[in-house]
């Protein structure tokens, strides 16, 4: 990228350094850009410079010096310009990467002791009263040509150093801008990827729930009905045959009936687990209460549920994800802490839903558990993700386990989504 010279000489440092130089050399300094336009100065206006300015007199030697400096090619010695005998300025081109990007000029000086006649000529040309010009000229130290050249060379060294620093700052700024842009791009991409992942997880979950629901209905409506029919038919048959068949046949009928009735209960239970219709019918809090009650029946320690009413209808996938998380946390407690009481709490406050499942069991080391190939914890985390929720697991060996889920409550039930009923 090419260096833009716009604003190049406007930094405070140019002003400070060149002002010091101007004071030290008793000259007024001006800086021009590559187009010959004045971009900085006049710095340190000397009495002579002021006098000419007041009189609007321009001997043209600043402009002449700028022109000659801009015309330089390979060599760039200091350029001394003078029109009126004795009166002079000195300038230098400012170069970056082989290109002239500006010019700095200092003046006016008298090169020799001023003769009265020369001052008279100059005063006439400038339209200035001789006395006024003479009193200024008298106080101005004459500068020999060789010293003037040294002034010019010094100006060149200063200008080049300042330019180098300016370019360095410019390059640093450019790299910084580039880095900022890159990091913006990266974080934008990251955000987009996160959102895509979230959407993907949500749609996978939805598809998964859909399939679960269909299978659950099939199990419930078809298999469960057919098993009930079988159960009833065998019972009828048994009634009709009582006393007619040997006692072994009676016994066999009884065993068959018991097996079929167990099978039928299992299928109903399975269909219920796959798709808890209570969630749709009665809402999240009621479904969790019923889950706690059913689980308590299957173990010796209590399972206690405390639930707040959820303030509005929840979309079914949302309610379902929370239910499934509670279900897995509870099933972990039943499996890994069978003797311990379990507390399930559900609250909804200030737009945030909080679920916690706490057991007073043996606890575990989370890092060590990750490598064991269980799916429960991973699945809870995956289910929390599409809700934009935060799932925390607090457990230490000997200190029980608490699983907490925090997720913002959805603002409105989304379109095409049947809400789960108000929780009770």
Ligand X SMILES: Nc1ncnc2c1ncn2[C@@H]1O[C@H](COP(=O)(O)OP(=O)(O)OP(=O)(O)O)[C@@H](O)[C@H]1O
Distance of alpha carbon 117 from its chain centroid, rounded? 75
Q: Which CB sits closer to Mg ion, 362 or 376? A: 376
Q: Least distance to ligand X from the beta carbon of 330, Å?
A: 9
Q: Does 327 bind Mg ion (CB under 5 A)?
A: no
Residues in contact with ligand X, shown as a per-residue x/- string from 376 to 415 under the rule CB under 6 A: xx-----------------------x--------------
Distances (CA, A) of 239 to 46, 157, 233, 242, 252: 130, 119, 10, 5, 13
Q: Does 104 bind ligand X (CB under 6 A)?
A: no
What is the C-alpha separation between 183 and 164, in angstroms, rounded?
28
Instruction: Identify residues 364-383 at the interface with ligand X (CB under 6 A).
Output: 364, 369, 372, 374-377
Nearest to 279 by CA among 354, 338, 212: 212
* DSSP count for the chain of H helices, then E strands: 13, 12
Tokens of 261: 């009735």
Is residue 64 within 8 A of residue 133, CB to CB? The reply is: no
Of positions 332, 356, 401, 404, contacts Mg ion by CB under 5 A: 332
Size of residue set near ligand X by CB under 6 A: 17
Q: Least distance to Mg ion from the beta carbon of 297, Å?
A: 20
Q: Which CB sits closer to Mg ion, 264 or 332? A: 332
Q: Which CB sits closer to Mg ion, 140 or 331? A: 331
Is residue 92 within 8 A of residue 155, CB to CB? The reply is: yes
Beta bridge pairs of residue 103: 32, 93
Q: Does 324 bind ligand X (CB under 6 A)?
A: no
Q: Does 355 bind ligand X (CB under 6 A)?
A: no
Q: Least distance to ligand X from the beta carbon of 372, Å?
A: 5
What is the C-alpha separation between 100 and 93, in angstroms, rounded?
6
Q: Does 330 bind ligand X (CB under 6 A)?
A: no
Of positions 31, 69, 333, 344, contacts ligand X by CB under 6 A: 333
Size of residue set near Mg ion by CB under 5 A: 2
Tokens of 12: 């405070």
Largest CA distance in the chain: 158
The one of ligand X, Mg ion, none whose footprint includes residue 364, by CB under 5 to 8 A per kind, is: ligand X
The one of Mg ion, ligand X, none whose footprint includes residue 337, by CB under 5 to 8 A per kind, is: ligand X
Point out which span in 11-19, 109-117, 183-191, 356-364 binds ligand X (CB under 6 A).
356-364
What is the signed CA dihedral for 164, 167, 169, 172, rounded to 10 degrees? -120
Distance of alpha carbon 88 from its chain centroid, rounded? 59
Exposure string of 87-126, with b = 16+ CB inside 10 Å and e = fewer, is bbbbbbbbbbeeebbbbbbbbbbbbeebeeebbeebbeeb
Q: Does 362 bind ligand X (CB under 6 A)?
A: yes
Q: Does 289 bind ligand X (CB under 6 A)?
A: no
Q: Does 335 bind ligand X (CB under 6 A)?
A: yes
Give the angle subtended at the CA of 383 by the CAs of 407 and 330, to the nearest 5°: 90
Of positions 332, 356, 404, 423, contacts ligand X by CB under 6 A: 332
Do β-strands 342-349 and 303-307 pair in parallel, antiparallel, or remain unpaired? parallel
What is the C-alpha separation between 42 and 105, in angstroms, rounded?
10
Q: Least distance to ligand X from the beta carbon of 356, Å?
A: 12
Q: Does 253 bind ligand X (CB under 6 A)?
A: no
- Residues in contact with Mg ion by CB under 5 A are 332, 376
- Residues in contact with ligand X by CB under 6 A are 332-333, 335-337, 359, 361-364, 369, 372, 374-377, 401
């Amino acid at each position: 990228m090419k260096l833009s010279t716009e604003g190049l000489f406007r930094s405070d440092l140019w002003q400070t350094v060149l002002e010091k130089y101007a004071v030290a050399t008793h000259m007024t300094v001006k800086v021009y850009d590559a187009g010959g336009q004045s971009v900085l100065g006049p710095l340190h206006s000397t009495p002579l410079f002021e006098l000419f300015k007041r009189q609007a007199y321009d001997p043209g030697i600043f402009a002449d010096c700028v022109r000659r400096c801009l015309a330089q090619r390979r060599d760039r010695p200091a350029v001394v310009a003078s029109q009126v005998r004795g009166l002079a300025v000195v300038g230098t081109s400012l170069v970056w990467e082989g290109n002239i990007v500006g010019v700095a000029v200092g003046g006016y000086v008298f090169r020799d002791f001023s003769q009265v006649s020369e001052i008279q000529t100059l005063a006439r040309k400038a339209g200035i009263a001789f006395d006024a010009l003479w009193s200024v000229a008298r106080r101005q130290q004459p500068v020999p040509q060789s010293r003037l050249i040294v002034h010019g060379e010094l100006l060149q060294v200063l200008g080049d150093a300042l330019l180098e620093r300016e370019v360095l700052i410019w390059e640093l700024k450019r790299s910084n801008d580039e880095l900022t842009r890159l990091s913006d791009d990266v974080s934008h991409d990251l955000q987009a990827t996160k959102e895509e992942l979230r959407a993907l997880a949500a749609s996978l979950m939805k598809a998964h729930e859909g399939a679960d629901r269909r299978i659950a209905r099939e199990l419930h409506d078809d298999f469960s009905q057919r098993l009930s029919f079988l159960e009833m038919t065998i019972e009828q048959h048994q009634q009709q045959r009582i006393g007619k068949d040997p006692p072994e046949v009676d016994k066999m009928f009884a065993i068959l009936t018991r097996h079929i009735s167990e099978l039928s209960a299992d299928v109903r239970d399975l269909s219920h687990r796959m798709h808890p219709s209570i969630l749709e019918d009665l809402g999240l809090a009621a479904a969790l209460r019923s889950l706690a009650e059913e689980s308590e029946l299957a173990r010796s320690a209590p399972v206690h549920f405390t639930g707040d009413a959820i303030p509005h209808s929840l979309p079914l996938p949302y309610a379902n994800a929370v239910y499934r998380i509670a279900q897995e946390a509870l099933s972990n407690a039943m499996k890994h802490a069978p003797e311990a009481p379990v507390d399930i709490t559900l609250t909804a406050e200030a737009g945030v839903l909080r679920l916690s499942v706490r057991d007073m069991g043996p606890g575990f080391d989370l890092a060590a558990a990750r490598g064991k190939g269980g799916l429960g914890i991973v699945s809870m985390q995956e289910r929390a993700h599409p809700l934009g929720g935060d799932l925390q697991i607090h457990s230490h060996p000997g200190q029980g386990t608490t699983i907490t889920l925090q997720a913002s409550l959805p603002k409105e039930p989304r379109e095409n989504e049947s809400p789960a009923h108000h929780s009770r």
